[in-house]
């Protein structure tokens, strides 16, 4: 029987009824990993009290850097926290940022989504805007707060890709429609971050790490929504799954 690769899904700290702490991951993330990427979804408690980066690299073949309500702490990119920066999860920062750097160095695949997209830029030395809707000429990329899930994850703006780039070739298009559910965004891209997709208001939406030996595609939107049926999401997760499977085979050769 062929062994499926293991993709670690970065979990988010949450509190049930404001008193019972949990680490959780959205069902749609697990669905996309299992049914489109063809991998085993493993939710990770992103907290250095419980796991180390070294252990995660040994256990998992790839990582899904999920979205989340808390933001990367601005101290990680040399700025002072303000109320506009929102809530933080310093435990997640302590796991994901060094994890990204190690994955880049090793060629171990990851895909960043929303906060995960922002983590990739910060981990590699970039900075973030705390609230892009306050910038001149930018649209509001946040989700409608009181809408249904279907309305929140509906396609809302177009993303234009670099012609002939990695995203354009993978998706077979120079532009696509995407959802948008974020408040922060890239301010200064890290030296190795290549921006291959931008929204109509010039907000960075699709990136990769230059000269990285492994899969590093990351997006500001949420491709995990309806991933099996969406023509943009499916090829992204399928390519991520192939990269994780290749990594798994490379370090676990078949027994004679």
Of the residues 114, 141, 196, 205, which is catalytic? 114
139, 199 Cβ separation under 8 angstroms: yes
Q: Which domain holds residue 45?
A: 6-251
Alpha carbons 98 and 198: distance in angstroms, whole number = 26
Share the mean pLDDT of the chain.
94
Predicted pLDDT of residue 253 = 55
In a domain, 227, yes or no: yes
Of the residues 73, 129, 160, 222, which is catalytic? 222
Other beta carbons less than 10 A from residue 211's beta carbon: 8
Inform me whether the pLDDT recorded for 256 exceeds 50: no
Between 215 and 3, the more confident residue is 215
Of 2-16, 25-39, 186-200, least confident by mean pLDDT is: 2-16
Predicted pLDDT of residue 117 = 98
Distance of alpha carbon 236 from the chain centroid:
12
- Per-residue pLDDT, averaged over 91-95, amounts to 97
How many domains is the chain built from?
1
In a domain, 142, yes or no: yes
Inform me whether the pLDDT recorded for 178 exceeds 60: yes
In sequence order, what DSSP letters do the residues of 124-151 get, joined into one string?
A: TT--EES-GGGSTT----SPPTTS-HHH
Inform me whether the pLDDT recorded for 163 exceeds 50: yes
Predicted pLDDT of residue 255 = 39
In a domain, 221, yes or no: yes
In a domain, 33, yes or no: yes
| Residues sharing a CB contact under 8 Å with residue 76, sequence separation 6 or more, in sequence order | 93, 97, 122
Q: Give the confidence band of 254 by pLDDT, cuts at 50, 70, 90.
A: very low
In a domain, 100, yes or no: yes
In a domain, 256, yes or no: no
Predicted pLDDT of residue 238 = 98
In sequence order, what DSSP letters do the residues of 37-71 get, joined into one string?
A: S-SEEEEE---TTT--HHHHHHH-SEEEE---SSB
pLDDT tens track for 185-241: 999 999 999 999 999 999 999 999 999 999 999 999 999 999 999 999 999 999 999
pLDDT tens track for 129-157: 998 888 888 988 888 888 898 998 889 99
pLDDT tens track for 56-86: 999 999 999 999 889 999 999 999 998 888 8
- CATH number for 208: 3.40.50.880
Of the residues 119, 131, 196, 224, which is catalytic? 224
114 is catalytic: yes
Alpha carbons 120 and 126: distance in angstroms, whole number = 8
Predicted pLDDT of residue 27 = 95
In a domain, 193, yes or no: yes
The reported pTM is: 0.95
In a domain, 1, yes or no: no
167 in helix, strand or coil? helix
Predicted pLDDT of residue 252 = 67
Predicted pLDDT of residue 55 = 98
120, 112 Cβ separation under 8 angstroms: yes
222 is catalytic: yes
């Amino acid at each position: 029987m062929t062994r499926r690769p293991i993709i670690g899904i970065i979990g988010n700290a949450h509190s049930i009824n404001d008193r019972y702490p949990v680490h959780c991951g959205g069902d749609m993330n697990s669905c996309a990993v299992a049914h489109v990427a063809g991998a085993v979804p493993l939710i990770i408690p992103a907290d250095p009290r419980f796991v180390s980066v070294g252990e995660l690299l040994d256990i998992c073949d790839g990582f899904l850097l999920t979205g989340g309500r808390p933001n990367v702490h601005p101290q990680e990119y040399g700025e002072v926290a303000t109320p506009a920066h929102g809530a933080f999860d310093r435990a997640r920062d302590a796991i994901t940022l060094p994890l990204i750097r190690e994955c880049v160095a090793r060629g171990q695949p990851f895909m960043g989504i929303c906060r995960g997209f922002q983590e990739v830029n910060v981990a590699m030395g970039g900075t973030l805007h705390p609230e892009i809707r306050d910038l001149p000429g930018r649209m509001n990329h946040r989700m409608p707060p009181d809408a249904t899930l279907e309305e929140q994850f509906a396609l809302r703006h177009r993303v234009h890709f670099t012609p002939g780039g990695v995203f354009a070739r993978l998706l077979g298009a120079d532009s696509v429609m995407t959802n948008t559910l974020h408040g922060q965004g890239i301010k200064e891209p890290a030296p190795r971050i290549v921006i291959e997709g931008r929204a109509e208001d010039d907000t960075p939406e699709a990136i990769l790490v230059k000269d990285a030996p492994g899969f590093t595609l990351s997006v500001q939107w949420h491709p995990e929504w309806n991933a099996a049926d969406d023509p943009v999401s499916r090829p992204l997760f399928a390519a991520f799954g192939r990269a994780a499977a290749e990594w798994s085979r490379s370090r676990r050769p078949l027994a004679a």
